[in-house]
Each structure stands twice: as C-alpha cells, then as structure tokens.
Structure 1
Amino acid sequence: MSYLKRVRTQNPLVHNITNLVVAPFTANGLLALGASPFMAYAHEEVADVAKMSGAVVLNIGTLDDKVVQAIRLAGQSANAHHVPVVLDPVGAGATTYRTETVQMLVRELRLTVLRGNVAEVANVIGESWSIKGVDAGSGEGDRIGIAERAAHKLGCVVVITGKEDIITDGQSTFLTSNGHALLTQVTGAGCLLSSVIGAFTAIAESGADLLGSVVEALAFYGVAAELAAERTAHQGPGSFQIELLNQLAQVTPDLLAERAQIRQIHGGAI
C-alpha cells in the first residue's frame, strides 16, 4: 500500500501549532489530503492534544512568548508519547529572537523531521546563509551538504525545499523535482507542506519507513502543485491556491507513481 493510500485510509490526526497567517489554509489542505487537522494553542490542552495525535507540527511563523511555551509543551508531550514531531523553523536567521527560539527548540525537543528552506536550516544548525524576511536569500553553497549535516547533528530527517527538494536522514539522500513556481506566490504553501509531511509521518510504521513516507509526501505535494498550475494556467495565484486544495484531494496513488520525479544520490534503498 502506498503512503498516500495509508494516509487516506487511516485519516491521521495532525496537531498543528502554526502561524496565524496560514492556519485556515493548512487546515483545509489537510482535510483535502484526507488527514484530520487539530489546531490547538492553549497551554491548558496542547499536551493532551499532542498525546492523542498521529503527528505534531510546530511552526514558528508568528512568535510570541505564549506561542513558544505552547510549542514547548506540545513537543515535550509528543516526545514522551512517541508521537512524531515536525518543526518548521520559519524565518530562522531573520531575527535574533527567532533564531534563538528555534535553536532552543532543537536542543530541548527530539525532532522527527525538520522542514525549511536552505537559509532556515543552515541557521538552525549555526551555519551562515543569507535570509530575506522568511525567504532564503541569494547565496552560494552546498544545499545537500547542509541538509546532511543537519540530519546528522539533529538526528532526524531533514527536508530543504527549493527548486529541487532535498530529503535526507544523513545516510540516504533523495531529491524530488516536482512542483511549480506558483507555490512561491502563495503565502503558507511551505507551511502547508510541513503539515502534509506531518500526516505522512503519522502513518509510517517504523523508523525505516519514515524516510520513504517523507519522500513520497514531497513528491505528492509537488505533483498536486503541477496539476493545479496546469488547470489554472493564466489565471494567477488565487485560482492556483484553490486548485491546489482540489488536487490534494484528487491526486491518486497511481497518478503519483506516474508523475513523481524522485532520484537517490546517497545511501541505501528505502
């Protein structure tokens, strides 16, 4: 059974502590995929919600001290109950507060997946890469090397998104080439991807299964974006955003297998 089919069969509960800019889009995207979103932020309940979830997705997009504490409480509960944790370090490196917060989180929490652009991931592990707002700035560097070093340092799967996405556990490294440039014109497209990854990690049946589920999540999201762009050609990012939700619901395992562009560059098979 494909990972996508597992998600739709099992309907995993995904607990999201995400930013206020993207919460409705994220919830609708998870519903379209076939997962069940839970958007809980209150300190009084985040530990309980995390405990009963299939995955917890932590997003630092709009930070304040209350959000940081909610993230810590949810992450600690997820770790205690063996629930996968996906961290999206939005804008790490853009401000001191943001960078110090995410570096505290990776010290305190055991991550399953870290998903960000190259600048965010580099700044999480203390390496230098320019950043503009919450977007990766221009720069020269070894994106694959940064991903693999981050995976080794943090002991988790690392995803660096870009024109070509990198997925690595530090031993095996894959590239996925699906997607479309219109994703960069929709606020929250990356944040939704992190939550989609959360849904796929929730149905991974073992540690060895984890990397394969994340690779398929990236390919699936990219294929949905390609189909959405094809169906809304010349209509602009607003129509694309709505059609992306449609395609998250309509891409089948067979269509995904036909269109997925995945290649392995390091390590053993999954």
Structure 2
Amino acid sequence: MNNHFATSVLGALMAVRQQQPLVLNVTNMVVMNQSANVLLAIGASPLMAHCQQELNELVELAQALVINIGTLDEHTFASMLLAAHCAVRHQKPVVIDPVGCHVSQFRLGSVKQLLNVVRPLTDKVTLRGNAAEIMALVGANQTSIGLDALTTSEAALESGKWLRAQYGCQVLLSGVVDYHVGEQVFKLQNGDAMLTKVTGMGCSLSAMIAAFASINSELPAGVLATSTLAIAAELAMLQSQGPGSFQVNLLDQLYSLGADAIATRLVLQVHHD
C-alpha cells in the first residue's frame, strides 16, 4: 500500500463531504434509490431527472453528470443524448455507464453515440463498465451471462486502452481486480464478492465517480471512487450475514469511512505492463 495514495483518497473523500457536489443522474429506474443513497452517504447531493425540458438548466446547475443506460429505450436515450450535449456546452464532467451494451445492438450503438458526443471533454469523461461491456465497445469477443461478465477485467485491459486512445476518455474496468486507464494505469485490489449480490453496486460506483470528478485531486475520480466503495465493502462484510444486511452496512461504512481504514486497507498501485 502506498501511503501517498491513501492520503489522496482520504483528502478527496473529505473534499466531497465538505463541498457536497450536486450530481445529476440520468440513470436507470432499477438503481435510482440505491445510487442516491450511496451519494448521500459519501456527502454528495443526488439529483435524478430525465425531463428534456429542464436538462440544460440542470446540467448547468450540477457539478457532474451520470448517464446510465440500464433501462434504455428511445425516450430515455433522447434525454441522455441531450444531457451529453449540454455537458459539453457547460464543460461538466461526465460518467457513462454502458450497462449491458454487449447484449444488444441498440445499447451498443447508443453508447458509441454518447462517447462521440462527449469526445471534446476528453479526460472529463469516465467510461465505467465490466469486461464484457468494455470489450464489446471495441468489437472484441467476450463471454457473459446476462449483464454480468465472466471475462476478467485484466483480459479487457487492452480494450480499455484502445477506448482511451479512440475517445480520449478515462476508462474504469470493474471486476475482481479493478483497472483504471488514463494517463497512467492503476490497479486496485480491494472489495468483496458480496458487491455482486446487491442490485446497482456498479451503477452506484458510477454515481460516486461523478461526485469525485467534481473535486480537485491528483488521483483520477475512478480510482478515488473505487477505492472508497471497495474498502467500505470490506468493512461492511465484516458485520453482515448476507446481501440484505450488507446493503445497509455498506451505507453506514461509506458514511463513516475514515483515515485508519483507508490507510490500512488500500491496495492500489500503478500498473506496469
């Protein structure tokens, strides 16, 4: 563990708690409540909206935007596309969660269209997905059941690098081991398998990334958010009997997470090929 990294994660979390950034979520119906609660637990302010008539005003008001395609249809996509254009206009950080983009051409094409729209924002954009989703965006073969990837995040690392080069965005590969591809590649080895047993944990992570993207830190928002959620998950599992108690305990741990836990648990390093 690098003490410098731990200090950066703690400092960023304290900044979120102090600044309480407003995060606009144009997100899927399944995860709205969970994502909002996670944002509140770390000190951010969630806003869930998709009405096209107000999106420009809301994007301008918010500190960051989340676009999550989990329950995609033509109407929600139109709102997402408009929000993306507004984010470029107002120069706001954007997090794109390409939920299930490997299972249908509509989802896949929609994500590519969104990435093209926000391309001018370059490093202000974070694309967060599992290995199957990231590999699908470059046309690579991948194995999956439903929306959850069996392919490892490490196997998708080259796809993440390609997307970084193609769109200029940062790419977070979520899995048993997490990789963040930006100016550097970071490898994070924290977390607990129970995260896969509660709906919307990846989506909540995407919302957290947006909160961290709104504050200044030497570490990328994807690294900061993943470190925070993963360490809180480890602590939550110590007092949980299953997914129900874990979900509640996770919110408590995010709310109270402090210096000692981050310093003693963080397993983060710069990844070298």
Query: What TM-score results when the alignment is normalised by the length of structure 2?
Result: 0.90
**CA distance in 2 between partners of 1:172 and 1:46 (Å):** 33
Specify the alignment match of 1:224 in structure 2: 232
Q: Does the 8 A contact of 1:15 with 1:53 survive in 2?
A: yes
**CA distance in 1 between partners of 2:229 and 2:32 (Å):** 18
Higher RCO (C-alpha 8 Å, min separation 6): 2
Q: 1:60 to 1:140 in 2, by over 3 A?
A: closer
Q: Which amino acid aligns with 1:248?
A: L
Return 5+ residue gaps in structure 2 as ranges.
Answer: 1-7
Q: Which amino acid aligns with 1:258?
A: T
**CA distance in 2 between partners of 1:226 and 1:108 (Å):** 37
Q: Does the 8 A contact of 1:130 with 1:139 survive in 2?
A: no
Q: 1:166 to 1:140 in 2, by over 3 A?
A: closer
The answer on 1:197 being equivalent to 2:209 is yes
- The count of aligned residue pairs is 260
**CA distance in 1 between partners of 2:111 and 2:221 (Å):** 25
Specify the alignment match of 1:38 in structure 2: 47
**CA distance in 1 between partners of 2:256 and 2:153 (Å):** 38
**CA distance in 1 between partners of 2:107 and 2:220 (Å):** 30
The answer on 1:160 being equivalent to 2:166 is no
The answer on 1:245 being equivalent to 2:251 is yes
Equivalent in 248, 259, 263 of residue 265 of structure 2: 259
Q: 1:159 to 1:140 in 2, by over 3 A?
A: closer
Shift of 1:213: 3.3
Question: 1:87-98 alignment to 2 at 5 Å?
Answer: 87-98=96-107
Greater displacement, 84-93 / 96-105: 96-105
Shift of 1:158: 0.4
**CA distance in 1 between partners of 2:61 and 2:153 (Å):** 43
Return 5+ residue gaps in structure 1 as ranges.
Answer: none
Specify the alignment match of 1:121 in structure 2: 134
Q: Does the 8 A contact of 1:103 with 1:125 survive in 2?
A: no
The answer on 1:213 being equivalent to 2:221 is yes
**CA distance in 1 between partners of 2:208 and 2:259 (Å):** 15
Q: Does the 8 A contact of 2:37 with 2:251 survive in 1?
A: yes
Q: Does the 8 A contact of 1:56 with 1:86 survive in 2?
A: yes
Q: Does the 8 A contact of 1:129 with 1:139 survive in 2?
A: no
Q: Does the 8 A contact of 1:180 with 1:222 survive in 2?
A: yes
Greater displacement, 45-54 / 143-152: 143-152
Q: Does the 8 A contact of 2:131 with 2:152 survive in 1?
A: no
